[in-house]
Structure 1
């Protein structure tokens, strides 16, 4: 059984497996989130940035007595197996690379966009959700993300739908399945997450469009009307014969918050079904990274910071950390400025190499557009004439330097497998 101990950095030993820090990984130079200590240098670096860390005793190569000095500081973190005690979790590995998976992901999302539009149009006209169509629609998406999430996450950032409700439904499904994959959900459970993600806000089809598009703060009465989309959504599911518990839980409780500050019931902690805690994270992430009438989109990496800062208040910490592992610190579609001065967009391997992914360079160091976007693997490159590696200096907000990712043609970039 997984057991995690809170250990002072003064008591660290080579062989211990560090699974979490006393601060965000983003505030440290550690590239891998979770690693086994192999040298004294790593211990010194941990002491430089942290007062204490969390050590996984199962993955550590240390005898049990090494941890006795910390018995008083023992602090259990919730193992995923406990959060999802009623599911058989499995481990996924990438079965294809970004280049090979891209055309399959593109086809899956293209078909899904059309089906989402059809489903929302049916419901908007007073009809029911075609459950069979919905299940068939999400299968190619689940297959692509199961093989390798990189391509699907990348394409979803590029192919932004004009209608926010459609885009949010698609994005929520993609984020939910990606997180479910990281957690080890079965294929059947991933299907439920996809359906729940797509239908979380279906009740907004019964809300006055003027409220949905309002570019001002809503009155208390209007906010109550807006919050009623949860009840509308549950009614639509019931009328359509959808009784899948995971799907109904995601629709019913995706606005509940871990500290009890959400709505409509003010549930907190374990009172909220685990899949609804997932729904809250992906719903928030999808919303704040999209342009809405009352708020501009923020960058994916800044959205990650927002989620991380809200761990154990709005969201369960273990699930936030799993979400970050699933999509990376600099998720696909993040515009970044490199230490070379060039501007690029993150495209692949942002999950396993969180600070040194592959990027597509769009602007030169003078911020002038390049004739052709060029692939750069930050794992392998250094500044010209120096031993210093090229790093991501900072993330940029969407639309920086006039870059429109929707107009970016990946096929014209110099990309090879």
Structure 2
């Protein structure tokens, strides 16, 4: 359920903060905790992928690297589930993505905390975080080689433009390719401070434009199939002028998601928010409503966390039951 996903995310935040603070100690206890988080996330996504995605989108943003790693791992699990990967492989992917940012603990604070884009010289320094992360994990007992490979290859690109080695195509392992797509997607929708975030649908469009360039084309298309054209957390304006937030996918009709309507066609807040399934037909057998356009995050001062709280869980509990 959404409630269970929210509790899991709260536990994950605590665990990830502790993990990134203590990763250099090489503690078996810390590594075991990372594995436990990955296992719980994997099971949650297998049971209900939209619930964890939705809760991750409504949680308050954090500037910490581990928050990016945690969100990336959720997208990675949703993608891996769609691909039909085995649960143990999904868990390896999740753990690799959770640990993908540990090398940033070795970078200077001025580099990590800089607002906006980095200069060419700064970016070269920044790129070292992958090698630093691999070095930390390689000397940490209990981290498997496949997990380390996810970290090692998650910033490589199909055309060789990635780092740290600039490898191309099939020299990048499958889990590394998956990790690269979801890490990039997460960076687009929740970038570092000072960079304008994209809506999920805008990020999907950018990924699609980079297929067979930075990312393997069929994997990009399968990722879009997995998360939908309108991923959970996307603000949308409907064909009647009302506004809502996507809370779930209809796997058989990705263009017609489940939407929590929060504003009327006149753009005034609804006293009672409504959960809509855009697949529903009217008496003439026609689609009643469809997505007219996506909206930037924060449009009409809509706050995703407030939407969740104001809904009182009414529609969301029904949606995930």
TM-score (structure 1 length as normaliser): 0.71
What is the DSSP-based 3-state SS (H/G/I as helix, E as strand, rest coil) of the residue aligned with 1:408? helix
Structure 1 runs, 4 residues or longer, greater than 6 Å off: none
Tell me, which stretches of 5 or more residues in structure 2 are unaligned?
none
What does residue 323 of structure 1 align with?
Answer: 223
What is the DSSP-based 3-state SS (H/G/I as helix, E as strand, rest coil) of the residue aligned with 1:229? helix
Contact 1:373 1:412 in 2 (8 A): no
What does residue 128 of structure 1 align with?
Answer: 26
In 2, the alpha carbon distance for the partners of 1:144 and 1:317 equals: 28
2:304 counterpart (402, 405, 412): 405
In 1, the alpha carbon distance for the partners of 2:94 and 2:287 equals: 43
1:226 and 2:122 correspond:
no
What is the DSSP-based 3-state SS (H/G/I as helix, E as strand, rest coil) of the residue aligned with 1:409? helix
In 2, the alpha carbon distance for the partners of 1:118 and 1:363 equals: 39
In 1, the alpha carbon distance for the partners of 2:202 and 2:250 equals: 15
2:48 counterpart (127, 140, 148): 148
What is the DSSP-based 3-state SS (H/G/I as helix, E as strand, rest coil) of the residue aligned with 2:159? coil
In 2, the alpha carbon distance for the partners of 1:350 and 1:314 equals: 29
Please report how far the alpha carbon of residue 377 of structure 1 lies from its aligned counterpart in structure 2 after TM superposition. 1.3
2:14 counterpart (106, 114, 134): 114
In 1, the alpha carbon distance for the partners of 2:262 and 2:126 equals: 40
2:137 counterpart (231, 237, 244): 237
In 1, the alpha carbon distance for the partners of 2:262 and 2:174 equals: 40
What is the DSSP-based 3-state SS (H/G/I as helix, E as strand, rest coil) of the residue aligned with 2:261? strand
In 2, the alpha carbon distance for the partners of 1:358 and 1:396 equals: 16
Please report how far the alpha carbon of residue 265 of structure 1 lies from its aligned counterpart in structure 2 after TM superposition. 1.2
1:105 and 2:5 correspond:
yes
Please report how far the alpha carbon of residue 350 of structure 1 lies from its aligned counterpart in structure 2 after TM superposition. 4.3
What is the DSSP-based 3-state SS (H/G/I as helix, E as strand, rest coil) of the residue aligned with 1:214? coil
In 2, the alpha carbon distance for the partners of 1:251 and 1:300 equals: 24
Q: Which has the higher helix share?
A: 2
1:196 and 2:58 correspond:
no
What does residue 171 of structure 1 align with?
Answer: 71
Higher Rg: 1
1:391 counterpart (281, 290, 295): 290
Tell me, which stretches of 5 or more residues in structure 1 are unaligned?
1-100
What is the DSSP-based 3-state SS (H/G/I as helix, E as strand, rest coil) of the residue aligned with 2:236? strand
Contact 1:342 1:364 in 2 (8 A): yes
Aligned residues: 314
Cα RMSD, aligned residues only? 2.0
Please report how far the alpha carbon of residue 388 of structure 1 lies from its aligned counterpart in structure 2 after TM superposition. 5.7
Give the 5 Å matches for 1:312-351: 312-351=212-251
Contact 2:262 2:273 in 1 (8 A): yes
TM-score (structure 2 length as normaliser): 0.92
CA-to-partner distance for each residue in 1:113-159, whole Å, 9 max, x for gaps?
Answer: 11001101113xx4236221111122221111111201111111111
Residue 285 and residue 350 in structure 1: after superposition, are their counterparts in 2 closer, same or farther (change >3 A)?
farther
Contact 1:343 1:361 in 2 (8 A): yes
